[in-house]
Every structure is written in C-alpha cells, then in structure tokens.
Amino acid sequence: MLLMVILFFHWHSNFLKKNSSSIFEDNSENYYEIKRIEREKMGNFRKSKTQIYKTDRSTITAVLNEFKELHLSEYEFYIKIGKYLLMTEQLFSLGFPEESLSGVCILNSHFPFSRSVPNFNKNKKARIRFEDCPDDILKMRVFEQTCARCGTEFYLTSAGYLTHERCYYHYGKLKYQWRDGNQDSVFTCCGRPFNSKGCSVGQLHVWSGLERGLNDNLEGFVRTQPRTNLWVSPGIYALDCEMCYTIKGMELCKVTVVDMEGRRLYNSFVKPEYYVIDYNTRFSGVTERDVAIFGKTLSQVQQELLTFIHEDTILVGHSLNNDSRALKIVHKNFIDIALVFPHERGYPYRYSLKQLTLRCLKKEIQSSDYGHNSFEDAVSCIELLLWKIVQDIREEEQ
C-alpha cells in the first residue's frame, strides 16, 4: 500500500547560481564573467561556520587524470553517463520521494530507510510497564517496531517510547565461517556467535523506516527548481548524507556535496527535529557536539543546497534514495552508483561503496575507527562513475 501525504512545497526565489565542474572547457564569452559574479555572491556563504564552498581538493588523481586524457566534451560526457540516469518510472519503486501530478509528495512506504541488521533477537518482545504510563498515553494507538540494531520488538506511540530498556546489539556484520567441517556465524565486531548478547549497548532500541501515524508527517519537502541562468552548466555533483537514530526513526545529521573534481562544495551538520537516541557515531562519524555547535536546520540546508542544485543537475551517490528522503528533496536526475554496478544476484542486493571502491579502484575506504567520512564517500562515488565511463569507452574501442 502506498502512502500519500499532502505537502506544501516551499518555493525559493532567491537563487544563487553555482558554476559546475571545471573538468570541461567552456569557451563562451560570458563564462568567466559569470564565474566572477558567482564568486562575489558566494562571499556571504564563505563566512559561515560550516565552511560552505570550501574548495578542499581530495586525492582524486589517478582516475581523474585517466578521464581527462579522453578529452571528452561536456556534451559527450553527458551522453556517456545518460544511460546510468535513473528513469522517472524507477524512482518511486526505488524509494525516492516523488511529486504527483496534483503537486503532492508521494513516498513508497515499503522501501526501508537504512541498512538491514542481523535480526538475532527475532521473536524477542519487550515488555510495556503499563503502570508507568500516564492515562493520556494509554489511550493512544500502540505501535510495534523491530529494533534496527538487535531485532527486539518494542513499543511506542506517536508521543514517544513505551519501552524504556537498553539495547544490547552487535554493530558488526555476521560473517559465515567453516570450523571443523561445520558452518557457523560470528559477528565481525567481537567475534562472538550469532546468539550471543550484544557487545555494545544503547540507551533505547531504535527503528528506521516510515510508519503511518508515527513519522509520516512529511511536511517540509522541497523541489529542485529550473536554472534561472542557462549559461552555466547544470552541474554533476556527488552527495552523501549521514543519519542518526531519533525517537521518530532516522533523521539527517550531516550532508556533504562534492564536484566532479573531488572538491568539497558544501558540508554541513544538520540538527535533527526530534530527540536523538544515538548519533550512530561509529558509522556516521557525527557527534552530538558537532551538531550542537555547527548544526543548521534542515530547512536552512535545503535552501542552501537549492542555490546550486537545480532541476537538471545530476546527483551521484550510493543508495541515493535514502539521502533524498532524509534531505526531503524531490529531484529527478540521479545516478545511483549501487545500480551502475549491479549486484550479481540482482536487485535488491547491492554492493556496498566499500566493496566497489576496493574492487574497482583498489582503494580502502570506511576503515577509520571514527566512522564514515561523508566527504570520502562522496568522492568515491565520483571516482567510481569516472572509472566506469573510462571502462565503457575502452570497451567500445575494442
């Protein structure tokens, strides 16, 4: 069953145009003039605490150099990557937010928000201590959710949690191994077996996904807008978001955008709307302090992003459906790296970004103890796309 929610779109009239990647030569007379004006306009943003538009060049060298040697024009490049753009018909089924003909936002509620976790506490149900619940809560509808970390079923209402118990979970993945002729499975975090008590503890169980009556109040979605200046190219950017667990499921806590040369265009922490249970720092790399000091509201971040991400901008990323839902941005032009390199077992299986960069780029990412680095992840998406284009052209030449 599909979930339909009426939304009010916020319109942004005051656009700041951002020049896109400079991999390509652009000989139009106005180009440099436009660039100069844009730089002046961007001055305001530079003063921001979160270092927006800081041009921080990464180590995207080998693939970029190989790509540059192809001497593709911008037009040729767009043709080459065109086949990897998701088709409009695919977007909804893949879980991207969509806009219906009548202008409402529709979301496929069957599409899960985040990674799946070994459900090792399956069938374990938490208790509700009804004697502790105020009368008004007892009158509310009780929802049952499965903890995204430990698999325990727990209870909540739209007003908050009914189950107040600690969550013992394994943050690692299950690894299957053969021992003495038998196959068994252990967690990569601690080496303990499948049925063991979790090696990490959280203050509450957590959940992800979309649940009608709990977090389907989808106000605050915005739509990318047409470019007001057609002299500048629409831009191809990679996007990476980090999410945290709140009492209302998962929410955005950081967003990073890089350009085709691996330069950081935008980087901001985002204040979640609801009470945060866990910043998921081990994976997100985001801490409570980061968000408290540097966090902006989602609405601020959307407005800033829409100044350079336009209707025809191409956004590249890994599992971008999660990012576009968390950012609450309705957009059409996506290249999802997870689908550029389809899994051998077919969809919905996906290779992780870590697996892809290791296999194609021979590069190890996400190996830090301090969580993912959204900048590194976004740059890897650009590198993988360029790598793929180089491979495609080589195959065509053979």
State the minimum distance, in angstroms, from the CB of residue 124 to Zn ion: 9
Among 187, 207, 269, 351, binds Zn ion (CB under 5 A): 187
Nearer to Zn ion, 211 or 240 (CB): 211
Which is closer to Zn ion, CB of 39 or CB of 122?
122
Q: What is the 3-state secondary structure (H, E, C) of 43-63?
A: HHHHCCCCCCCCCCECCCCHH
Among 3, 34, 140, 189, binds Zn ion (CB under 5 A): 189
Bridge partners of 296, per DSSP, are: 270
Residue 61 buriedness (CB in 10 A; 0-12 / 13-18 / 19+): exposed
**CB of 145 or CB of 268, closer to Zn ion:** 145
Evaluate the CA torsion angle 335, 111, 11, 266 in order and state its sign.
Answer: negative
Q: Of 229, 272, 200, 161, nearest to 19 (Cα)?
A: 229
Q: Pick from 81, 162, 167, 386 the residue near Zn ion by CB under 5 A.
A: 167
Closer of 128 and 360 to Zn ion (Cβ)? 128
| CB contact set of 154 (below 8 Å; sequence gap of 6+) | 125, 126, 144, 145, 146, 147, 161, 162, 163, 165, 205
- Residue 35 or 282 having the CB closest to Zn ion: 282
User: Among 199, 358, 360, 361, which residue interacts with Zn ion (rule: CB under 5 A)?
Assistant: 199
Minimum CB separation of residue 152 from Zn ion in Å reads 5
Q: Checking DSSP bridges between strand 182-187 and strand 174-179, what pairing results, if any?
A: antiparallel
Which range, of 35-43, 198-206, 261-269, 270-278, touches Zn ion by CB under 5 A?
A: 198-206
- DSSP single-letter state for residue 242: E
The C-alpha atoms of residue 222 and residue 331 are separated, in whole angstroms, by 9
Residue 186 found at the interface with Zn ion (CB under 5 A): no
CB of 183 to Zn ion, least distance (A): 19
Distance CA 272, CA 289 (A): 13
**77 binds Zn ion, rule: CB under 5 A:** no
Report CA-CA distances (Å) from 60 to 2, 18, 48, 309: 41, 21, 26, 22
Of 132, 112, 156, 80, which Cα lies nearest the Cα of 388?
Answer: 80
Judged by CB under 5 A, the chain residues 127 through 156 that form the site for Zn ion are 147, 149-150, 152
Candidate list 18, 80, 170, 223; residue touching Zn ion; CB under 5 A: 170
In the list 3, 5, 128, 190, the residue contacting Zn ion (rule: CB under 5 A) is 190
Q: How far is the CB of 326 from Zn ion (least distance, A)?
A: 21
Residues touching Zn ion, count (CB under 5 A):
11
Does position 205 interact with Zn ion (CB under 5 A)? The reply is: yes
Region of 330 please: left (phi>0), alpha (psi -120 to 50) or beta. beta
**What number of H helices and E strands is found in the chain?**
12, 18
Cβ-based nearer residue to Zn ion, 105 or 167: 167
Residue for token pair 């980061």: 290
Please, what is the minimum distance in Å from the beta carbon of residue 168 to Zn ion? Answer: 7
Which of these segments, 180-188, 295-303, 312-320, 375-383, binds Zn ion (CB under 5 A)? 180-188
CB nearer to Zn ion: pick between 96 and 279: 279
Please state the closest distance from residue 143 (CB atom) to Zn ion, in A: 15
Residues that bind Zn ion (CB under 5 A): 147, 149-150, 152, 167, 170, 187, 189-190, 199, 205
